Amino acid sequence: MTDTNILTDKYGRKHSYLRISLTERCNLRCTYCMPEHGVAVSPWGKLMSPDEVFEIAKRFVGMGVTKIRLTGGEPLVRKDFGQILEKLSTLDVELSLTSNAVIIDRYIDQLKAAGIKTVNISLDSLHPTKFKTITRRDNFDKVKQNIDKLIQEGFKVKINCVLIKGFNDNEIIDFIRYTQNNPVTVRFIEFMPFDGNRWNRDKLVSHEEILNMAFAEWSATGVERLVDEAHDTSRNYSVHGFQGSFAIISTVTNPFCDSCNRIRLTANGRIKNCLFSNSEVDLLTTFREGGDITPLVAQAIQAKAPIRGGMSTDESFSDPNNYNQNRSMIAIGG
């Protein structure tokens, strides 16, 4: 196997997009992301150091990765985030970031210097009290100010909004209206099941329901279907005349597995070949022993299931045992 086809799995999917989680810690406590009792975090020494993140990422770039997203937990809570960013910016890849934006204002210059142009920011409500309910923290104003700042500073901002029926589905129109004068993409993300996040199929808001709400507000002809980018997990739309756009990501009901190009590296140096997969392959131990991680990467890629980590039918979601073994999103890296 040559270095460039290690990342191609048996279904012909080429994995050129690496999402690196930098930490399992966070300054928010989103209810859908982490269980109420918190998650066990790895001791500091078990996490990849800045040099290890860089060296492992460099191996992946050698295998054909062209895009790296930094995520977490909240990647910005790592004190050495700036150092990691600076090192990764020397690689020949498109770098991007997913953050809750609580402290992103401290990093604007460093993000620019590293060549980051797009940032994905989580925001699940436009109301301070609801923001506090979902994140268990009182940071709404700061996040909103920081989103404005990112826009002013010229970043392309995508807002990730996890929809939970009965909680924030009544804000769908307000979120779309927010794109009228703001050049952002609001991405409605289907609530996914993880260990302890009280997932239930009835809490999902379907693609059709979201679109019907938009059509009722702006008419079917007032909403334009945009062209999606290759490997895009979202279906993109905009309301005529609005500066921004909106998108729908239906991971559970309408998965995009057949064109998936993503692999994840957890903060403690394990490959996770799918968000829904329970299995992980440890790279960091071998890397620290001076061994070759390439066969481990190949093993993880070849073990990737064709659809949702093996949860191939809708019925798979009726049995919590199928997803309760899966670490919470905060520990995987979203």
Closest approach, Cβ 329 to ligand SF4, in A, equals 6
Which residue's CB atom is positioned nearest to ligand SAM? 334
Phi-psi region of 198 (alpha: psi -120 to 50; beta: other; left: phi over 0): left
As a whole number of angstroms, the distance between CA 231 and CA 82 comes to 29
Nearest residue (CB) to ligand SF4, 76 versus 301:
76
As a whole number of angstroms, the distance between CA 264 and CA 239 comes to 33
Nearest residue (CB) to ligand SF4, 102 versus 296:
102
As a whole number of angstroms, the distance between CA 40 and CA 49 comes to 19
3-state secondary structure at position 324: coil
Q: Among 8, 21, 120, 122, which residue interacts with ligand SF4 (rule: CB under 6 A)? A: 122
As a whole number of angstroms, the distance between CA 39 and CA 59 comes to 30
φ and ψ of 47, to 5 deg: -90, 155
Residue 75 interacting with ligand SF4 (CB under 6 A): no
Closest approach, Cβ 318 to ligand SF4, in A, equals 25
Q: Among 39, 104, 192, 271, which residue interacts with ligand SAM (rule: CB under 6 A)? A: 192
Q: Identify residues 83-112 at the interface with ligand SAM (CB under 6 A).
A: 98-100
As a whole number of angstroms, the distance between CA 189 and CA 169 comes to 11
Q: Identify residues 88-107 at the interface with ligand SF4 (CB under 6 A).
A: 100
Q: Which of 181, 184, 27, 66 is nearest to 119 (CA)?
A: 184
Closest approach, Cβ 97 to ligand SF4, in A, equals 12
3-state secondary structure at position 6: coil
Binding site for ligand SAM (CB under 6 A): 26, 32-33, 71-72, 74, 98-100, 122, 160, 162, 189, 191-192, 194, 197, 329-330, 334
Q: Footprint of ligand SF4 on this chain (CB under 6 A)? A: 26, 28-30, 33-34, 72-74, 100, 122, 329-330
